[in-house]
A = this chain, B = another copy of it.
């Protein structure tokens, strides 16, 4: 992709039509509720899924060759809705199609600071008529139903051009399938529509899930001197015809509102019209000002300054923007693995929301983190039902879902991956530690933690010696499944149980309401204290799971080199029985439960697992970066950080067309802040200890600590700690305790130099790609 390196812009200076599916993902503007992908307004060529709404999904029945008890009976899939930004343009009767005629100039710019996508095209039709087109679009981060668009056509000097502009060109929408018996199958169908000059509305609904959506649009027309224009109605709706004298222009300023839910069309239409009326009252300037203010506030908290690596500087800002666009307005839905940038993973939410994105949102957009956790809490009845299906107490959160119901059709990598339930509660605990949000802890935290703890007491067991085990689980590493005592799982379970004990003590009323008594809390505490961490004494290495280090090692000569995922060429029976690690698992435990390991143990563990870890998952490089940085492998950490940051910008996994990797994007920020920044929030203590690799000369970031806001600015010549807002904060810089307070808000320290040890090797051909 021919994208330039610029600090605050993602600029595509020329159009590569074959790249459109990928740039559609990268150039998405979204707010977590509504996403408009970077498709061309004219949809020529058509790119699927131009507009995605987080609540609009369909149920697709699962078909199993060998069904079994407790298998989810349907999948849920995000269904693309009708596009609000679609525009069809005819130039002297010829449709604008960048693949025909002559495209003299085409540039698109996603402004990272403002979240606005702009496009400029200079095109000459096959018939020889030249025209200039400028478009603009953004999705409000404040009014989550609102898309604002502009489409401007201009005749060049010296040419007179007749144009027809057809707004609301639907683009490729969903079509309903058919069941084997001819009944209406899954899909999105249009229910009703209405048109008027400059105004349209369309109602759609998913057939089986019954989620309705109404899009209502309004377009204001302005034009330059001498332009004759007017709306007329033809067979397809209302169209705008304009005669442009040389240099003349016409501009359609569009506002579009989506309303959705399981309600009749009338109600949805009324809601969409209310949003439009409010937007019209506010006016274009105020709408954009409030949207920009939202983002200014984000950048104030979120921006990471990286000097010395301009590519990484741009990439981490793109990463922050995409993280924010995936998360900002997830109230009532939940953060999706691909955000709203594509249809990959069917639009599902996975554990990486809690494991990789929320730790970043806690600092850059805490309300989104809270909204996601409140959504999880809203799905608790379904998680309770799922646990009941499994014959277990408490709640079992789904591996992949839109509505909160388990959708996975492959249990060894889903229902067995019980850690997702602990990831949810751990995210809550971390969020409260970062933000001091007691209300969230009281309102949803107690409930989540108690249900989680009860699940663990059923899912795990004490052996005859009292040790607490969790058997038959799949940890983060998806190349090792259905094992006993996965260390990562056991340690997050222990954290979950400890937190349940602590939080039920803080909120005795809520705990009593849930029937928690001292006996139950004592059992949780005992289990947490007795949790097993398998250890290979002969190797001095923590085991990823019981017996892991006694498995045969993978013979890397068995299959040809290259980045094709092993799972695409090796059967599960072979993958699972070897010491082949898809993604950080034990190494993730070194981060998430870092206080359980000595520095020396971490060194041995990282050295052991690094040559086994093939990184076929995008949920790995950021974790490896953080641990590498902690252990002084700064150059290696820098390369992992770049891999993580470039995953979509360089399309490293050849799947960006399905949407960006939000967790990897968030991971880029995390790799810088937790990795090079050395930030750790453990047991209420805040540790920092910035280190700069040779390729980075300055790193500045800001984090939240118990509600206060602290800046860390690391340069070769020293580190500056600044309290930007809030109360007194105590930080541990290396071995020293520093206090920042409103009276003495700034402290300077030396940057501790690091002698890089010899780094461990990766599997053949699997060195970091940054």
Interface residues of chain A, those whose CB is within 8 Å of chain B, are 62-66, 68-70, 75, 389-392, 408-413, 415-416, 461, 463, 471-472, 481-482, 484, 546-547, 550-552, 558-559, 567-574, 576-577
A-B contact pairs, 28 of them (CB 8 A): A62-B65, A63-B65, A64-B64, A64-B65, A65-B75, A65-B409, A65-B410, A66-B413, A68-B410, A68-B567, A68-B571, A68-B572, A389-B571, A390-B571, A391-B558, A391-B559, A391-B571, A391-B574, A392-B574, A411-B573, A416-B573, A471-B551, A472-B576, A472-B577, A482-B482, A482-B573, A484-B547, A547-B547
A69 and B463 alpha carbons, distance in the complex (Å): 37
Residue in chain B with minimal CB distance to A553 = B461
Residues of B near A392 (CB, < 8 A) are: 574
A481 and B412 alpha carbons, distance in the complex (Å): 11
A272 CB to nearest B CB, Å: 35
Residues of B near A559 (CB, < 8 A) are: 391
User: Which of B63, B481, B568 is in CB contact (< 8 Å) with A482?
Assistant: B481
Residues of B near A574 (CB, < 8 A) are: 390-392
Residues of B near A65 (CB, < 8 A) are: 62-64, 75, 408-410
- List the 10 shortest-distance A-B pairs measured between CB atoms, nearest first: A65-B409, A472-B577, A70-B571, A66-B410, A471-B577, A461-B552, A63-B63, A62-B65, A66-B409, A390-B571
| Given known contacts A552-B461, A552-B471, A576-B482, A391 and B570 CB-to-CB distance under 8 angstroms | yes
A391 and B568 alpha carbons, distance in the complex (Å): 13
A308 and B373 alpha carbons, distance in the complex (Å): 71
A567 and B69 alpha carbons, distance in the complex (Å): 7
User: Which of B415, B572, B577 is in CB contact (< 8 Å) with A573?
Assistant: B415
Residues of B near A391 (CB, < 8 A) are: 558-559, 570-571, 574
A400 and B390 alpha carbons, distance in the complex (Å): 28
A232 and B415 alpha carbons, distance in the complex (Å): 66
Residues of B near A577 (CB, < 8 A) are: 471-472, 484
A485 CB to nearest B CB, Å: 10
Residues of B near A484 (CB, < 8 A) are: 547, 577
A390 CB to nearest B CB, Å: 5
| Given known contacts A62-B65, A63-B63, A573 and B481 CB-to-CB distance under 8 angstroms | no
Residues of B near A550 (CB, < 8 A) are: 463
Would A573 and B472 count as touching, CB distance under 8 A? yes
Residues of B near A413 (CB, < 8 A) are: 66
Would B390 and A66 count as touching, CB distance under 8 A? no
Would B570 and A69 count as touching, CB distance under 8 A? yes
A389 and B471 alpha carbons, distance in the complex (Å): 30
Residues of B near A463 (CB, < 8 A) are: 550
Would B64 and A409 count as touching, CB distance under 8 A? yes
Residue in chain B with minimal CB distance to A415 = B573
A499 CB to nearest B CB, Å: 24
User: Which of B69, B408, B461, B572 is in CB contact (< 8 Å) with A571?
Assistant: B69
A701 and B182 alpha carbons, distance in the complex (Å): 59
A577 and B484 alpha carbons, distance in the complex (Å): 9
Residues of B near A576 (CB, < 8 A) are: 472, 482
Beyond the given A64-B409, A69-B570, could you list 13 further A-B residue pairs with CB under 8 A, ordered by the A residue number?
A62-B65, A63-B63, A68-B567, A69-B568, A70-B570, A70-B572, A389-B571, A391-B559, A391-B574, A392-B574, A415-B572, A471-B577, A484-B547
Residues of B near A410 (CB, < 8 A) are: 65-66, 68
A413 and B551 alpha carbons, distance in the complex (Å): 21
A581 CB to nearest B CB, Å: 15
A514 and B409 alpha carbons, distance in the complex (Å): 42
Would B412 and A412 count as touching, CB distance under 8 A? yes
Of the listed residues A68, A75, A567, the one surrounded by the most CB atoms of chain B closer than 10 A to its CB is A68
A548 CB to nearest B CB, Å: 11
User: Which of B63, B552, B571 is in CB contact (< 8 Å) with A411?
Assistant: B571
Of the listed residues A63, A66, A558, the one surrounded by the most CB atoms of chain B closer than 10 A to its CB is A66
Residues of B near A570 (CB, < 8 A) are: 69-70, 391
Residue in chain B with minimal CB distance to A407 = B65
Of the listed residues A389, A408, A574, the one surrounded by the most CB atoms of chain B closer than 10 A to its CB is A574
A603 and B96 alpha carbons, distance in the complex (Å): 84
Of the listed residues A559, A567, A573, A574, the one surrounded by the most CB atoms of chain B closer than 10 A to its CB is A573
Residues of B near A390 (CB, < 8 A) are: 571, 573-574
A203 and B567 alpha carbons, distance in the complex (Å): 44
A458 and B731 alpha carbons, distance in the complex (Å): 55
Residues of B near A62 (CB, < 8 A) are: 65
A462 CB to nearest B CB, Å: 9
A444 and B262 alpha carbons, distance in the complex (Å): 65
A391 and B570 alpha carbons, distance in the complex (Å): 7
Of the listed residues A559, A568, A571, the one surrounded by the most CB atoms of chain B closer than 10 A to its CB is A571
A64 and B471 alpha carbons, distance in the complex (Å): 27
Residues of B near A568 (CB, < 8 A) are: 69
A754 CB to nearest B CB, Å: 36
A65 and B409 alpha carbons, distance in the complex (Å): 5
A416 and B484 alpha carbons, distance in the complex (Å): 18
